[in-house]
Chains A and B, each alone.
Chain A
């Protein structure tokens, strides 16, 4: 009997030692707002306990995260698991070798939860560089409470938005605006308008060539100016007065003085959380201009989860990734902080459990249903963005007119695209 006990004890000890030997200490990095940080930390705790790994979180806001990841990748010190913005893939992984090929972990990660198109979108040169967290697109969110106060129904066309500006000023005061749009938001709004008007996306994703003429771009800029003139948008200098803060930290947004924004559908929680009590945020989808040929939706995989090519714990990282994206505990903890999940099993579980708010589902449906030509990942290339936004700022401050703005943007973007 004593002998059997000894054998059982030895077997248990061996098993325990085996588990300890498999336990890894990993790092995972991401950007986001407070609600995403909390949910992801909880998910790492849950999956860590389930798998016997320890996963140290490394999280920041959006600003500076790109630079942080770039520096880490250059030095080979990146986290084992990373949340990567989809447009960064061609920058960090030109030949597909910048991240681990997740096809190599098909035994661990259930890749069947993503469609072939979704996996193709994050595949470079045959290497699956990341798993899409969700598909994201820009659409209009409006603060229904503010619009109600102005005595207006939520807009269904850009014309409605344009007409709302003077009414906001008259009924609520000069400090109330139906919409906001400076910097990136302004440039993407103009892209939406011109895509609707021309039926063409800005940069052809197949050829990497700019497709708009200067006149086409000028028409979009002129419409943006009309929005400024009609009290639809707060001017750039006035928006800048709040300081270098994102929308969700802007007091005018929190207290409802800004009545709407053109944002990623996945940022719902981030922009909804800071709203003062009693205010309701509603997604209304893409609004069309007169004579629009399509919805002009700017839609893309929002972000992907990648595993470091330098990590010596890739197997453990793959286990954690599968837990976060495909296993019930991880899915529940991650919630919908990155939008409606692309993983089928995760989306189904969250829908069944009420883990996704109806507005997020509605917003996602609007983005997916909207029509527009495919966009290029180079739209978010840093030099392309700088060329557009710096020039638009000059225009917004009255330094150049819309003709010069259109010419300058096309010149700078073409120059930036030369090396791509």
Chain B
């Protein structure tokens, strides 16, 4: 049992984290809620306006409608693609191949670099009119593609960048795959199951907790994507890549409409929260935990 002195010591040890959480997370979180009900231009005192910002958002703001639809499209495109790709690569890297350590590292590297400004700039040059991708296409006899000038192509480049950052999800999948009990595979082999059956009926059900974890994390991160559209496309063309975090940024730091930006941020938070709740609710039907009594 911890004595008084030890309790004090324990509190002292965790206090930097607690203080950081309160000051840098809890306070801004609550402050933004308050600011979402105000007219605040960053340089003068906030003025209480009640629900005006939310009313404007839902009734008069076409840019918000566009940005929201673009964001939802981006999330619903990137999350499944990224998870599927990460799982596929993890399955391949789970085989005992020569130099497997090197390959695992090589596939993980993009996720370390992926969110950085430098990679976004690199992406911009790769897909530019005279960039690497068009050089390869024309070299193979195809026509060059206008990646950034066409709204659909521009979104594709951002989706591709996000999927390219599959490393962290892949590593988690890999750890899950390695934890699957080998005796189950042996039993399936004896019963004559082929590789697809083994994957579909043994591997996937046993790693559903990890699929669920990655689904939540990737969904939240996709909703918060900023660097890619800001650096590569600046939200264009025609706002086709104008994700909500960019809109929040522009409203807050270009228009100095911090109250309105806070309202958008809270709408984004509610959307993420609802989707997370739905995911947790649905997980009862498809996620299996060790020791689970369901059959």
Return A98 CB to nearest CB of chain B, in Å.
7
Q: Are A393 and B236 in contact (CB under 8 A)?
A: yes
Of the candidates A242, A383, A393, the one whose C-beta lies within 8 Å of that of B129 is A242
Q: Are A91 and B149 in contact (CB under 8 A)?
A: no
| B residues less than 8 Å from A91 (CB atoms) | 256
In the assembled complex, A39 has its CB within 8 A of some CB on chain B:
no
In the assembled complex, A374 has its CB within 8 A of some CB on chain B:
no
In the assembled complex, A6 has its CB within 8 A of some CB on chain B:
no
A92-B43 Cα distance, complex, nearest whole Å: 7
Identify which of B128, B129, B150, B232 gathers the most chain A CB atoms within 10 Å of its CB. Answer: B129
| B residues less than 8 Å from A251 (CB atoms) | 128-130
Per-position 1/0 for B110-148, Cβ under 8 A of A: 000000000000001101111100000000000000111
Given A92-B43, A393-B236, A399-B238, A242 contacting B148 (CB threshold 8 A):
yes
In the assembled complex, A240 has its CB within 8 A of some CB on chain B:
yes
Q: Are A240 and B148 in contact (CB under 8 A)?
A: yes
| A residues less than 8 Å from B146 (CB atoms) | 237-238, 240-241
The residue of chain B having its C-beta at the shortest distance from the C-beta of A74 within the complex is B42
Q: Are B253 and A67 in contact (CB under 8 A)?
A: yes
Return A420 CB to nearest CB of chain B, in Å.
12
Report the interface size for chain A: residues with CB under 8 A from the other chain: 29
Q: Are A397 and B238 in contact (CB under 8 A)?
A: yes
In the assembled complex, B234 has its CB within 8 A of some CB on chain A:
yes
Q: Are A237 and B124 in contact (CB under 8 A)?
A: no
Given A74-B42, A383-B255, A244 contacting B234 (CB threshold 8 A):
yes
Per-position 1/0 for A61-98, Cβ under 8 A of B: 00000110011011000000000000000011010001
Per-position 1/0 for B250-291, Cβ under 8 A of A: 100111100000000000000000000000000000000000
In the assembled complex, A245 has its CB within 8 A of some CB on chain B:
yes
| B residues less than 8 Å from A237 (CB atoms) | 146, 149-150, 237
In the assembled complex, A382 has its CB within 8 A of some CB on chain B:
yes
Q: Are A244 and B233 in contact (CB under 8 A)?
A: yes
| A residues less than 8 Å from B43 (CB atoms) | 70, 73-74, 92, 94, 98
Q: Are B150 and A243 in contact (CB under 8 A)?
A: no
Given A74-B43, A242-B128, A66 contacting B254 (CB threshold 8 A):
yes
Identify which of A67, A94, A240, A390 gathers the most chain B CB atoms within 10 Å of its CB. Answer: A240
A70-B237 Cα distance, complex, nearest whole Å: 26
| A residues less than 8 Å from B250 (CB atoms) | 386
Return A60 CB to nearest CB of chain B, in Å.
12
Return A37 CB to nearest CB of chain B, in Å.
18
The residue of chain A having its C-beta at the shortest distance from the C-beta of B233 within the complex is A244
Q: Are B234 and A382 in contact (CB under 8 A)?
A: no
Q: Which A117-172 residues sit within 8 Å CB-CB of chain B?
A: none
| B residues less than 8 Å from A399 (CB atoms) | 238
The residue of chain B having its C-beta at the shortest distance from the C-beta of A63 within the complex is B234
In the assembled complex, B231 has its CB within 8 A of some CB on chain A:
yes
Return B283 CB to nearest CB of chain A, in Å.
39
A20-B147 Cα distance, complex, nearest whole Å: 58
In the assembled complex, A239 has its CB within 8 A of some CB on chain B:
yes
Q: Are A70 and B150 in contact (CB under 8 A)?
A: no
Q: Are A393 and B237 in contact (CB under 8 A)?
A: yes
| A residues less than 8 Å from B129 (CB atoms) | 238, 241-243, 251
A397-B239 Cα distance, complex, nearest whole Å: 12
Chain B binding surface SS class: loop
Q: Which B224-245 residues sit within 8 Å CB-CB of chain A?
A: 231-234, 236-239
| B residues less than 8 Å from A386 (CB atoms) | 250, 254-255
Of the candidates B127, B231, B253, the one whose C-beta lies within 8 Å of that of A70 is B253
Chain A binding surface SS class: helix
Return A185 CB to nearest CB of chain B, in Å.
15
Per-position 1/0 for A386-419, Cβ under 8 A of B: 1000100110010100000000000000000000
| A residues less than 8 Å from B232 (CB atoms) | 243-244
Q: Are A71 and B253 in contact (CB under 8 A)?
A: yes
A74-B42 Cα distance, complex, nearest whole Å: 6
Identify which of A66, A71, A241, A382 gathers the most chain B CB atoms within 10 Å of its CB. Answer: A241
Q: Which A24-71 residues sit within 8 Å CB-CB of chain B?
A: 66-67, 70-71
A251-B131 Cα distance, complex, nearest whole Å: 11
Return A216 CB to nearest CB of chain B, in Å.
25
Of the candidates A98, A239, A382, the one whose C-beta lies within 8 Å of that of B149 is A239
A71-B130 Cα distance, complex, nearest whole Å: 36
Q: Are A394 and B238 in contact (CB under 8 A)?
A: yes
The residue of chain B having its C-beta at the shortest distance from the C-beta of A237 within the complex is B149
Given A73-B43, A245-B124, A240 contacting B256 (CB threshold 8 A):
no
| A residues less than 8 Å from B231 (CB atoms) | 244
Identify which of A73, A239, A242 gathers the most chain B CB atoms within 10 Å of its CB. Answer: A242
Per-position 1/0 for A242-254, Cβ under 8 A of B: 1111000001000
A238-B279 Cα distance, complex, nearest whole Å: 42
A161-B41 Cα distance, complex, nearest whole Å: 43
| B residues less than 8 Å from A383 (CB atoms) | 255
In the assembled complex, A114 has its CB within 8 A of some CB on chain B:
no
In the assembled complex, A236 has its CB within 8 A of some CB on chain B:
yes
Q: Are B253 and A393 in contact (CB under 8 A)?
A: no
Q: Are B236 and A240 in contact (CB under 8 A)?
A: yes
Of the candidates B42, B131, B237, B254, the one whose C-beta lies within 8 Å of that of A240 is B237
Identify which of B63, B232, B238, B255 gathers the most chain A CB atoms within 10 Å of its CB. Answer: B238
Q: Are B148 and A393 in contact (CB under 8 A)?
A: no
| A residues less than 8 Å from B236 (CB atoms) | 240, 244, 393
Q: Which B15-49 residues sit within 8 Å CB-CB of chain A?
A: 42-44
The residue of chain A having its C-beta at the shortest distance from the C-beta of B131 within the complex is A243
Given known contacts A238-B129, A242-B130, A243-B125, what 6 new A-B pairs fall within 8 Å (CB)?
A70-B42, A239-B149, A241-B146, A243-B131, A243-B148, A393-B238
| Chain B residues proximal to chain A, CB less than 8 Å | 42-44, 63, 124-125, 127-131, 146-150, 154, 231-234, 236-239, 249-250, 253-256
27 A–B contacts from the bound complex (CB under 8 Å):
A67-B253, A67-B254, A70-B253, A71-B42, A73-B43, A236-B149, A237-B146, A240-B146, A240-B149, A240-B154, A240-B236, A241-B129, A241-B147, A242-B130, A243-B124, A243-B148, A243-B232, A244-B148, A244-B234, A244-B236, A245-B124, A251-B129, A386-B250, A386-B254, A386-B255, A390-B239, A394-B238
5 nearest interchain CB pairs?
A237-B149, A240-B149, A67-B253, A241-B129, A243-B124
